[in-house]
Amino acid sequence: MTSMDSKPSVLMERYELGRLLGQGTFAKVYYGRNTHTGQGVAIKVIDKEKVLRVGLTNQIKREISIMRLVKHPNILELYEVMATKTKIYFALEYAKGGELFDKVSKGRLKEQIARKYFQQLINAVDFCHSRGVYHRDLKPENLLLDENDNLKVSDFGLSALAECKHQDGLLHTTCGTPAYVAPEVIHRKGYEGDKADIWSCGVILYVLLTGHLPFHDSNLMEMYRKIGKAQFKCPNWFPPEVKRLLTRMLDPIPAYRITIAKIKENAWFKKGTIARKPRNETENTGSETSDRASGSSDNKQEEIRPPNLNAFDIIALSPGFDLTALFEECRQKKEARFTSSKPASVIISKLEEVAKFLKMKICKREAGLLKLEGTKEGRKGILSIDAEIFELTHSFHMVEVKKSNGDTLEYQKVLNEGLRPGLQDIVWTWQPEEEPPPEQRVEPEQLGPLPPQQEQLP
């Protein structure tokens, strides 16, 4: 069997592989450089044979699905996934500062630095929870730092999605690292993922401020006993607000544990926060966005060049291979896609024309991205729709239309009654296809054979 050290020097003609950054049982992480852009990345190389042998395929799929769901400034970004017959490659954001664990292992941090990391951690965890994602393995080893000393939550291999809950609405898998795990998880009771993550954040805050664990014992059962009773001591020099906050976060009874909303109201937590311009975190913040940000701000249509989709993107976007569909079947779709043989400039003109007809304004136009906004306040704020154009081939484009703000039902109405009919003369095909109302729906046996271009993948 070939060693994982016999790595290709250039991966997929795009990433130049360099030094080894770290390794685990099933994967190694190398520093890489995108040969087209010069951007530094981390390349996680997973041994497919080992993963299949121990049955971790679903965990890898879950990690990909979740990292596609959670795009946030304090969460490590997954740029793309590639595969060969023997390996799976993740191209990830490179966190130059390494693990937060390395900093803490040298001793406690200054209060204002600990607070900054804690604020960023809470913001990232809050964002995950808003997407129905629970990390379940939060610890300093999984918190990385970028070159600007900003926190990046990583390692979503043990994460759970809201759809993974049992009928009682609780998670039941015992996982995580013992010293950071909530008592209800250790006791193998059903638990709420958000409450368990808040406990882990409390342990992390204690570690950042003291340089050691709140619950520690060489005897594992004794440590579990301390965790179960939340038996820990705060040093005398802790500010009173921190003591109160930790007591609430490390409450052994989940129902009494503080919520993230209340953590954000804590006086100590709020110190040093700077008011920022509001940013819609549901917007695509992927590598395409950063490419657009560095591009020209000139709005001339002939200069607009939409980003390309690679093979993984195209496969992942097709319904039969969409990994997130494994978890999102019961949700109302918040995005739709159509393909068109028209040039990008024609697609943009048509979108602008339809937006005008729908009394929506185009408030943002960059390379391949338009934002349509309603002029009236809806049930959940102003409806905002992103329309992003991707180049599949020189003469063929895909457009993704998705809600970025507002009410889903209002979005569905605009999509089905405004955008679909308004764009029909430039659309090759829609994905997913619009379902007919129940009275028009026919049973499969009433249909003749499908024409070749509509045949479904098995």
For 422-453, what is each residue's pLDDT tens digit?
998 888 888 765 444 443 333 333 333 333 33
pLDDT in tens, 211-246: 999 998 888 889 989 999 999 999 999 999 999 999
Q: Do 88 and 127 share a domain, yes or no?
A: no
Q: Do 66 and 111 share a domain, yes or no?
A: no
In a domain, 446, yes or no: no
How far apart CA 400 and CA 112 sit, in angstroms, is 42
- Nearest CA to 269 out of 244, 303, 290 is that of 244
Average pLDDT, the chain: 76
Task: Check which CATH number belongs to the domain holding 370 and give it.
Answer: 3.30.310.80
In a domain, 283, yes or no: no
Residue 258 pLDDT greater than 90, yes or no: yes
Q: Do 352 and 416 share a domain, yes or no?
A: yes
In a domain, 242, yes or no: yes
Q: Do 259 and 336 share a domain, yes or no?
A: no
Q: Which residues are annotated as a binding site for ATP?
A: 44
Q: Which two tokens stand for residue 349?
A: 């003109």
Distances, alpha carbon 152 to alpha carbons 199, 394, 426, in Å: 19, 36, 41
Neighbours of 416 (CB within 10 A): 13
Is 72 within 8 Å of 281 (Cβ atoms)? Answer: yes
In a domain, 64, yes or no: yes
Task: Check which CATH number belongs to the domain holding 147 and give it.
Answer: 1.10.510.10
Is 64 within 8 Å of 46 (Cβ atoms)? Answer: no
Distances, alpha carbon 308 to alpha carbons 314, 367, 382, 425, 430, in Å: 10, 11, 30, 24, 19
Neighbours of 272 (CB within 10 A): 11
Domain end marker among 30, 61, 93: 93
Is 34 within 8 Å of 93 (Cβ atoms)? Answer: no
Domain end marker among 93, 108, 124: 93
Q: Do 66 and 119 share a domain, yes or no?
A: no
In a domain, 334, yes or no: yes
In which domain, by residue range, is 158 found? 98-270
Burial degree of 420 (CB within 10 A; 0-12, 13-18, 19+):
middle
Q: Do 123 and 58 share a domain, yes or no?
A: no
Task: Check which CATH number belongs to the domain holding 26 and give it.
Answer: 3.30.200.20
pLDDT at 332: 52
Cis peptide before 432 (omega within 30 of 0): yes
Q: In total, how many domains does the chain have?
A: 3
Residue 394 pLDDT greater than 90, yes or no: no
Is 389 within 8 Å of 347 (Cβ atoms)? Answer: yes
Residue 322 pLDDT greater than 60, yes or no: no
pLDDT at 177: 66
Is 42 within 8 Å of 70 (Cβ atoms)? Answer: no
Q: Do 148 and 255 share a domain, yes or no?
A: yes
How far apart CA 36 and CA 118 sit, in angstroms, is 36
In a domain, 179, yes or no: yes
Sequence length of the chain is 458
Q: Do 117 and 242 share a domain, yes or no?
A: yes
pLDDT at 231: 93
In a domain, 445, yes or no: no
- Under the banding of pLDDT at 50, 70 and 90, the label for residue 261 is very high
Catalytic residues: 137
Q: Do 155 and 109 share a domain, yes or no?
A: yes
In a domain, 450, yes or no: no
Q: Do 248 and 265 share a domain, yes or no?
A: yes
Q: Do 88 and 124 share a domain, yes or no?
A: no
Is 324 within 8 Å of 285 (Cβ atoms)? Answer: no
- Under the banding of pLDDT at 50, 70 and 90, the label for residue 298 is very low
Q: Do 110 and 74 share a domain, yes or no?
A: no
pTM of the predicted model as reported, rounded to 2 decimal places: 0.58
DSSP states of 332-391? PP-EEEEEESS-HHHHHHHHHHHHHHTTEEEEEEETTEEEEEEEEEEBTEEEEEEEEEEE
Q: Which two tokens stand for residue 232?
A: 């820990």
Domain end marker among 71, 93, 115: 93
How far apart CA 65 and CA 322 sit, in angstroms, is 9
How far apart CA 409 and CA 415 sit, in angstroms, is 10
